[in-house]
Amino acid sequence: MPALLEACSITKRFPGVTALREVSFDLRPGEIHALCGENGAGKSTLIKLLSGLHPHGSYEGELFFDGAPAQFASIADAQRTGLAVIYQELALVDELTVAENLFLGCEPRRGVLIDWDRIWRDGRALLARVGLDLAPDTLVGDLGVGSKQLVEIAKAHGKHARVLILDEPTAALAEREVDTLLELLRDLRRRGIACIYISHKLDEVFAVADRITVLRDGATITTLPTSATGKNEVIRAMVGREIAELFPRHASHPGEVLLSVEDLSAAAVKGGPARLHHISFEVRAGEVLGIGGLMGAGRTELLMHLFGAWGARLGGHLQLAGRPFDAASPVAALAAGLVLASEDRKRYGLILAESIGFNLSLSSITRLRRGALIDEEREAHANQGLFSSLRVKAPSLETAVGTLSGGNQQKVVLGKALMTEPQVVLLDEPTRGIDVGAKIEVYALINELTAQGKAVVLVSSELPELMGMSDRILMLHDGRVGGEFTRAEATPEQLLAAAMGRTPAAA
């Protein structure tokens, strides 16, 4: 079958680095082709090249679309040809309606005026096409991440895209939303739309892709039909080494209760409706408590509330290391020995323009003082210690954090949390959007923390991770505890049932 989109021995150089080396890649009509590789393997660069962000002439090699040489000068150029990219950070305007977003930049007109009738009518049709049951005049800002993703796809559909490029589309989705998305992709495939699918989640890749291409260090390692390969082979190709065990959780010896939460209820704002209802749990020293649930179940809100960064308390008793604990702000939480590493690195985690060192010591800087001034020597030593023990890959502590890869940024976020010498560590999606190698380092770090007698609360959307790393698992559903399980007794089916609010007894 002739390829719909083909890249022939592409080489792309940036000052000082070669991001892609003789990369070849082809996409057949009506195919879902997964692109796998660790962060920094060259996936994003390849996508930027295919989508016209790196224009023709800025790289060596040739692109072909539908058999003819393609020389995209810009993103708009690539879009006209029939390529659409759906980025991790969604390109939708929250303040506009769904229909307006669908036609943003190519509004149908009657004369010089916008043809609103067509926007509403065609918008409704496009939404139906992606199986989204929404009024076209809904504000995009009111939608969840999952729906936004579908709107993005509908938008690409409206532009008659023949190739969809999805960059980590499920990073922020709950399992059910992932299923909807994958089903939609299969449906599009039946209609002849080809798709390049980038994901760190191999389960999804194997569930949906026809072929898999693995990139490593800017080079194509292999392209395999999904039916003829397995996860281990793909992982081996990605990291270039065998990974015996993805989740090396050590046996734990829980000590005394460090954090106890009793009958906690909270609302987003004072006087608002409750978002967290009567939640109770405890975490012991040396223990990992996993918290799962669907998108919007209140996991992030729970952690942020414990940390004093979200919501208003409606009721409940909290104890930290046996003493009553009620953090009114992150400052108070940190002083009491509780720390949070947020899920959203760029928004809540890092000062991107500042250096690695600045970020690492940010939470601890008030302690690293001599008199009124910062003890720069002590600060540098503390930074250096974490920089090397976490193996952050960067030229120096003075490198701007914004230039690091996702995995290394996450290490800085974790390092910042660890420098505060906490007793209880709240980790919200600590492995989101980072590559396999970095994930394993994060898991090792969690083991190390519990070995030191700290208590860890781990929020994760990925069931395998939750089951692999937690000693006990708490499933949240709609702001309530849907069920609590020990590591030994938890099964994926039980956890999912609890996340969806069906207690096993009632089922």
Partner 1 sequence: MKSKLTLRDFSLLLSLLAIGGFFAIAAPQFLSARNLSMLTVELAITATLALGMLLVILPGHIDLSVGSGVGLMGGIATVLIIHHGWPAWAAMTGSGLVALVLWMAMGALIIRQRIPAFIITLGGLLIFKGAFWLVIGSHTIPVVAGGSSNLYSLLTTFFLSPAASAVLATLVFAGLVILNLRARRRRATLGFAVDDAEVAFLKLFVTAQGLLLFVLTVNQFRGIPLPVVILGVVALMIQIITRHTPFGRHLYAIGGNEEAAFVSGVPVQRTVIGAFTLLGGIVAITGLMQTAYAGATTTTVGDSMELDAIAACVIGGTSLRGGRGTVLGVIFGALIMASLLNGMTLLAVAPEMKFIVRGVVLTLAVWMDVKLARR
Shortest spacing between CB 352 and partner 1, in angstroms = 7
Shortest spacing between CB 410 and partner 1, in angstroms = 14
43, 198 in Cβ contact below 8 A?
yes
Shortest spacing between CB 375 and partner 1, in angstroms = 10
Closer CB to partner 1, residue 76 or residue 335? 335
Cβ atoms within 10 Å, residue 307: 21
- Where does this chain bind partner 1 (CB under 8 A)? 304, 307, 309, 329-331, 333-334, 340, 342, 347-354, 358, 362-363, 365-366, 369, 372-374, 376-377, 380, 384, 396-398, 416, 420
Closer CB to partner 1, residue 128 or residue 351? 351
202 Cβ neighbours under 8 A, 6+ residues apart = 36, 231, 234, 235
Closer CB to partner 1, residue 13 or residue 28? 13
- d(CA 148, CA 310) in angstroms, rounded, equals 24
List, in sequence order, every residue forming a beta bridge with 119; answer none if it has no partner. none
Closer CB to partner 1, residue 265 or residue 420? 420
434, 462 in Cβ contact below 8 A?
no
Shortest spacing between CB 399 and partner 1, in angstroms = 11
- d(CA 194, CA 472) in angstroms, rounded, equals 42
Shortest spacing between CB 33 and partner 1, in angstroms = 35
Closer CB to partner 1, residue 3 or residue 365? 365
Q: Torsion over CA of 463, 212, 51 and 165, rounded to 10 degrees?
A: -40
Closer CB to partner 1, residue 323 or residue 347? 347
Closer CB to partner 1, residue 170 or residue 420? 420
* Joined tokens for residue 17: 């680095």
Counting Cα atoms < 13 Å in the Cβ hemisphere of 371 gives 1
- d(CA 494, CA 292) in angstroms, rounded, equals 12
Shortest spacing between CB 83 and partner 1, in angstroms = 27
> How does DSSP assign 13-72, residue by residue?
EETTEEEEEEEEEEE-TT-EEEEE--TTSSHHHHHHHHTTSS-TTSSEEEEEETTEEE--
Closer CB to partner 1, residue 93 or residue 331? 331
> What is the DSSP secondary structure assignment for residue 342, as one 8-state letter?
-
Shortest spacing between CB 286 and partner 1, in angstroms = 25
Shortest spacing between CB 348 and partner 1, in angstroms = 4
175, 460 in Cβ contact below 8 A?
no
Give the start-end residues of each E strand in 323-461: 323-324, 338-341, 369-370, 373-374, 424-428, 455-459
Cβ atoms within 10 Å, residue 120: 16
Shortest spacing between CB 395 and partner 1, in angstroms = 8
Closer CB to partner 1, residue 243 or residue 312? 312
